[in-house]
Structure 1
């Protein structure tokens, strides 16, 4: 009985000490400058290729142009190897050098739209109208790296 009380006491002390632990930003960890915008998507069964085909002609074209113009750092698409598990089975990511790149900018917008052209704009609108038939957006996130020291 003494040992059980001793073990319970030690466990309580351990939890009390761990709950008092506090990390301090810039002392214990840093926050990265790069910002990642992430959209989680639930693709309907057997519709991944249909969705990817639409993305290639709309979203992928747009992010490639944005990267070429220097507006974004990079972009990625991830697909789950287990497509029927969880709330989403595909992730679309866009990486920015810093949060300033997310601010509205009329000059950048005009330059992008001029480069994008009316044909791409019309095609993109046509394609995106079909997306609700094959997918559901399940979340949007803006992420920064936590760099532990």
Structure 2
């Protein structure tokens, strides 16, 4: 087999391999479903040896405010995930909030006022101070995403 024949065979095999995925067209609702629920996910890079300090700040800001939102029915749930390998990659912590649907993300004066009433003026000031003074010195937000669960049938 000469070089041109080998090249032609390789080119044909490459073409056929790349053509197969184009035929695999899934249809939403027939072949897979996308959840109504939506997760807001923030990827965070916490500086070395600052994880406990960051969690301490989150406890009185992010966690506490999510607890209020959850009690008010404004969110379904929230989670924090921390990497076992904190110095690898672009982020080492995930902050996740689950909403029932995208409508729960829309601005809503009544929900905002209910949250502020439950949260309280003291907590607003405390959260702003921590967010302004602590967070910029120990972490970087590397990404924000809105994700939906996909279930393939």
1:49 partner SS = helix
**Which residue of the partner structure matches residue 141 of structure 1?**
145
Higher strand share: 1
Q: Distance in 1 between matches of 2:69 and 2:100?
A: 13
SS in 1 for 2:37: strand
Q: Give the deviation of 1:11 after TM superposition.
A: 5.1
Give me the whole-angstrom Cα distance separating, in 1, the residues matched to 2:114 and 2:147: 27
Counterpart selection for 1:122 from 115, 120, 125 = 125
Q: State the 1:6 CA deviation.
A: 9.3
Give the alignment's TM-score, normalised by structure 2: 0.90
1:68-147 equivalences under 5 Å are 68-129=71-132, 130-147=134-151
Q: Which stretches in structure 2 are left out of the alignment for 5+ residues?
A: none
Q: Count the aligned residue pairs.
A: 149
- Partner deviation per Cα, 1:1-25 (whole Å, 9 max, x = no partner): 3996796345532332323322211
- TM-score (structure 1 length as normaliser): 0.92
Please, what is the CA RMSD of the aligned residues? 1.8
Residue segments in structure 1 that go unaligned for 5+ positions in a row: none
Mapped partners of 1:21, 1:116: distance in 2: 50
